[in-house]
Amino acid sequence: MGDRLDELLGLVEASLTEPDLRGRALAARAFLTRFHFDRLVKAALGEPPGAFRRRLLLERAAYRLATGTDQVLTVAVDAGYGSAEAFTRAFVRGFGLTPTQYRRQQPAPHELATPNGIHFHPPAGLRLPAPERSYGMDVITRMLDHHLDLVGRIIDRTALVDEEVLDRPIAPPVEGIDHEPTLRSVVDRLVGQIEMWLAATSGETLMPSPGPSTPEAMRARLAEVAPRFRGLVLDALAQGRADETFIDAICDPPETFTYGGMLAHVLTFSAARRTMAIGALRSAGILDLGWGDPMLSVGGTGSDAATITRQSSAD
């Protein structure tokens, strides 16, 4: 039902620009009869679709009253009401204030009680509740898992190109991120970074020796260190030891780091390298990684957010 519910919500969201749209016409856009459309939406949301749309339109109207200067009648018509009087009656039932009184109230919340937690989200969207409670540790875990998984998929794609592509200089390079980078060197550095920090957090006293940098060898190196690095770092964070320090004896002179700071460093600098590697692969015609957007792994649906365009305030 998840994808179907997303589709139904998308139809309802789009219909907010058509306040006079009738239920039968909205159901037809979902290729359903009015009866089945109403039944599906009410079962999923706890509100009939008509009541759901009216509430969202009323929330949008409240937001416009609180933040804009449109006349009450204009807001009423855009919310699907034929007169200011009918709009005022519905508004008072929902918010306990007339539209004029509400406009004077600062700040003015625009959300009404609902069993599903779905509300109008300015300027023209919806805000949906999370299916389950999520905390900072969940986000960090997903970010790290996305990184380790994406590095592996990048390595897999390097096996699809020839040596000339692997060793072609990446231009323009990112200042401060590697010297004269190539696809091979950037991917090798992504794996080597994990190897280096695993050694540091494990108390090793020597820098790991450079490993072979064929696609097959880099895949094997990643398979060796990624699970160990993940377990060591996430265990420390889960135990509340993000600010616990460790001495990296590999540095000359030895340096002191925290687990949280080290992970932030890894994810930040690896993001630049991943982007360079994906760009080099795209130049070679390998497009299936998109732009490596972590949003779909950390939270979100739809297309790669790097490809999304947003309307300007003038639109």
pLDDT, residue 314, reads: 42
CA distance 278 to 298: 19
Rg (CA), the chain: 27
Work out the mean pLDDT of the chain and round it to a whole number.
86
Please check whether residues 156 and 248 belong to one and the same domain.
yes
pLDDT at residue 312 above 90? no
Does one domain contain both 81 and 152?
no
CATH of the domain at 52: 1.10.10.60
116 and 251 in a single domain? The answer is no
Token code pair at residue 281:
């692969």
Q: Percent of the chain scored above 70 by pLDDT?
A: 90
- Domain total of the chain: 2
Helices 2-15/49-67 angle, 10° precision: 50
Do 106 and 172 lie in one domain? The reply is: no
> How many helices (H) and strands (E) are present in the chain, helices listed first?
13, 4
Give the range of the structural domain holding residue 53, as residue numbers without chain letter. Answer: 2-127
* The last residue of a domain, from among 109, 127, 145: 127
pLDDT, tens digit, 9 for 90 and up, residues 249-265: 667 777 788 899 999 99
| Within a domain: 144 | yes
Higher pLDDT, 251 or 165: 165
**92 shares its domain with 202:** no
**What pLDDT score does 128 carry?**
76
Q: Is residue 191 part of a domain?
A: yes
State whether 145 and 273 are in the same domain. yes
Both tokens of 242, joined, read 């993000």
Q: Report residue 110 as tokens.
A: 């625009």
In a domain, residue 315? The reply is no
| Residue after which a domain boundary falls, among 96, 127, 158 | 127
Does residue 195 share a domain with residue 145?
yes
Residue 37 contacts by C-beta under 8 Å, 6 or more apart in sequence? 8, 23, 26, 27, 30, 49
In a domain, 314, yes or no: no
Residue pLDDT, tens place only, 79-104: 999 999 999 999 999 999 999 999 98
Indicate if the pLDDT at residue 226 is higher than 90: yes
Same domain, 293 and 158: yes
Cα separation, 243 vs 236, in Å, equals: 9
Core vs surface per residue 172-201: b (16+ CB within 10 A) or e: eeeeebbeebbbbbbbbbbbbbbbbbbbbb
> What is the spatial distance between Cα 229 and Cα 193, in angstroms, rounded to a whole number?
11
Residues 239 and 290 in one domain: yes
**Are residues 173 and 275 located together in one domain of the fold?**
yes
159/40 same-domain check: no
Predicted confidence (pLDDT) per residue in 188-206, tens digit: 999 999 999 998 887 776 7
The CATH number of residue 246's host domain is 1.20.120.450
Tell which of 98, 127, 156 closes a domain: 127
Look at residue 1 in the predicted model and tell me its pLDDT.
46
Q: What is the pLDDT confidence band of residue 315, given thresholds at 50, 70 and 90? A: very low
